Structure 1
Amino acid sequence: MPSPEAKRAPRSVRRRPGARRTARREAIFGFAMIGLAMLFVTVFTFLPIVASLGLSFFDWDVISPPKFAGLANYQRFFTDQPVLQSFAVTICMALAIVVLQLSLGLFLAVLVNQRTSKFGRTFFRTTFYLPLLASTAAVSIFMGYLFDAKFGAINYYLGLVGIPPVPWLTSPLGAQITIVLIVVWQQVGFTFVLFVSALMAVPVDVLEAASIDGAGPLRTLLRIKIPLISPTILFAAVIAMINAMQLFDQPYIMTKGGPGSATTTATISMYQTGFQNLQFGYSSAIAIVLLLLILAITGIQFLASRKLVFYQ
């Protein structure tokens, strides 16, 4: 029989032991999920980086035992003109991809957010996001046939209106522009979804106050909406730059890095050095330099965000 004091105690107090057990189970489950995620990151991210860093100090062709080379691979990197050119190509294409992806994604998001209903926003978010779900290899193969200079459908229809064939993938500049446009087309849905969600979260009372003060649509966008969604823009810019700096599938499948070396990115150069020339130590050094470059660019983006990003 419970005591009179227990009967008079609040129900929350009487249920405290069960609540503690529930909280303990939830805490154990949470730590287990965090541990699983950390294990995944350690096995598939941290350990490969450490292994690549260690391998970059050796000469290894898989066949013979590794030979310690010290900093020779890094010294070779700074004198290897084809590899340096591949990094320059990567940076130029990455900048073009990020600028186009962010600007086009923001433009589409503003249009959809202002001009469509809730159903319309859902429809367009699904439509623009679908290319991102497709296999990059499959999209690259399809686009390679579509932009073929001789047999491609695009040049065929251009010929019907009297336009001569365009060397989409057979000229250096044409190949770079084509690959940039294809990457932007496939990736813009990600930034579009982010920007639509961010614009929908802008406080209505702030927009109403701006309207009362006489701010037009363009001024509202530049002075209110973009500053309020600037953290989302920073996130999208960082993710887009990291992905663009690792560009591999589209140029490798569509042009094999050509014509010449016009679309040979850093990852293609790393692949050719390691898996074609069997210079895995030097390939690892290229990978470490690319990692450091990505970290440096990301750091610059965060430093710039101190003055450009507004946190509510």
Structure 2
Amino acid sequence: MIALSVLFVAVFTAIPIVASLGLSFFSWDVISTPEFVGLENYQRLLHDGPVLKSFGVTLGMAVAIVVLQLVLGLGLAVLVNQRRLIWVRTAFRTAFYLPLLASTAAVSIFMGYLFDYKFGVVNYYLGLLGIPNVPWLTSGFAAATTIVLIAVWQQVGFTFVLFVASLMSVPTDVLEAAQIDGAGPLRTLFRIKVPLISPTILFAAVVALINAMQLFDQPYIMTKGGPGSATTTVTISMYQKGFQNLQFGYGSAIAIVLLAAILVITGLQFLAARKLVFYR
């Protein structure tokens, strides 16, 4: 029954990871014969300033994306959950989830036009208000912020749907008891609802971080990793080294280090969850 799923994971996940691990010990440009270099690619990575910087850029953007996604997803879920009419809840769930169904590449191209410095619609309407053009994609901090906001806008629907379903499963007798004891909306949210849905929050945080650490489409399409290297993520560095410079061994080493970093950070999340997550 699960053979097809196992085959899919093996062909598209497990085998490529093992192949990348093996390739990271070689120097290969596709044309010539692979040359075994041992740990040379990893030693080179430790002294490659631009690649190391891309790890810092990726981590900073990932943290911002995860925090915003969790906060906005929970806030929207709480507001929608207060609506008693079923069709209103359904309409909001559909509206917030729709961006997730759109192609990331198409969204990035569209957003690139919207935030264009000279011809973008956003700067046009800001100009009508007397605000000078904002360098959304041509200034380092602004470009990184814009990409973070776009990534959050497109991905928050997934977190939102998870939180809506989780909040609906909170026992009503617990909420009624809190109301009788005089707990207000904020205290009920942070002292009762959030602890009860903490397993869902952990799942959403882990998935959001894994996706954010692999951010590629938005920065590559909208800024090509610029201006300078302000939005050059690890996946862009990996793409540049492997597919543009034909250094497949070095690119594979970058990918393996990124995988290790994701595993370590995910492990830290689960360690923190021992004290922060409550299972009833």
Instruction: Please indicate the TM-score interval, normalised by the length of the shorter structure.
Output: over 0.9
Aligned to 2:131: 163
Number of corresponding residues: 280
Q: Deviations over 1:53-73 (max 9, x none)?
A: 000000000010000000000
Aligned to 1:73: 41
Assess if the C-alpha contact under 8 Å between 2:66 and 2:208 holds in 1. yes
Amino acid at match of 2:143: A
Aligned to 1:132: 100
Separation in 2, partners of 1:192, 1:230? 14
Identity of aligned residues (%): 79
Aligned to 1:150: 118
The structure 2 residue matched to 1:305, chosen from 251, 273, 278, is 273
Q: How does 1:102-117 map to 2 (within 5 A)?
A: 102-117=70-85
Separation in 2, partners of 1:116, 1:131? 25
Separation in 2, partners of 1:146, 1:116? 36
1:98 aligns with 2:66: yes
The structure 1 residue matched to 2:14, chosen from 38, 42, 46, is 46
1:178 aligns with 2:178: no
TM-score normalised per structure 2: 0.99
Aligned to 1:230: 198
Separation in 1, partners of 2:63, 2:85? 34
Q: Which moved more, 1:264-273 or 1:38-47?
A: 38-47
Report deviation, 1:106.
0.3
Report deviation, 1:265.
0.1
Amino acid at match of 1:254: M
Q: Which runs of 5+ in 2 are unaligned?
A: none
RMSD over aligned Cα, in angstroms? 0.6
Q: Which has the larger radius of gyration?
A: 1
Q: Deviations over 1:113-146 (max 9, x none)?
A: 1134221111101100000000000000000000
Aligned to 2:219: 251
1:273 aligns with 2:256: no
Separation in 1, partners of 2:181, 2:250? 62
Amino acid at match of 1:65: T
Assess if the C-alpha contact under 8 Å between 2:147 and 2:219 holds in 1. yes
Helix, strand or coil: the match of 2:2?
helix
Separation in 2, partners of 1:205, 1:161? 50
Q: Which moved more, 1:59-68 or 1:113-122?
A: 113-122
Helix, strand or coil: the match of 1:191?
helix
The structure 2 residue matched to 1:261, chosen from 224, 229, 235, is 229
Amino acid at match of 1:199: L
Q: Which runs of 5+ in 1 are unaligned?
A: 1-32
Moved over 4 A (4+): none
Separation in 2, partners of 1:155, 1:216? 42
TM-score normalised per structure 1: 0.89
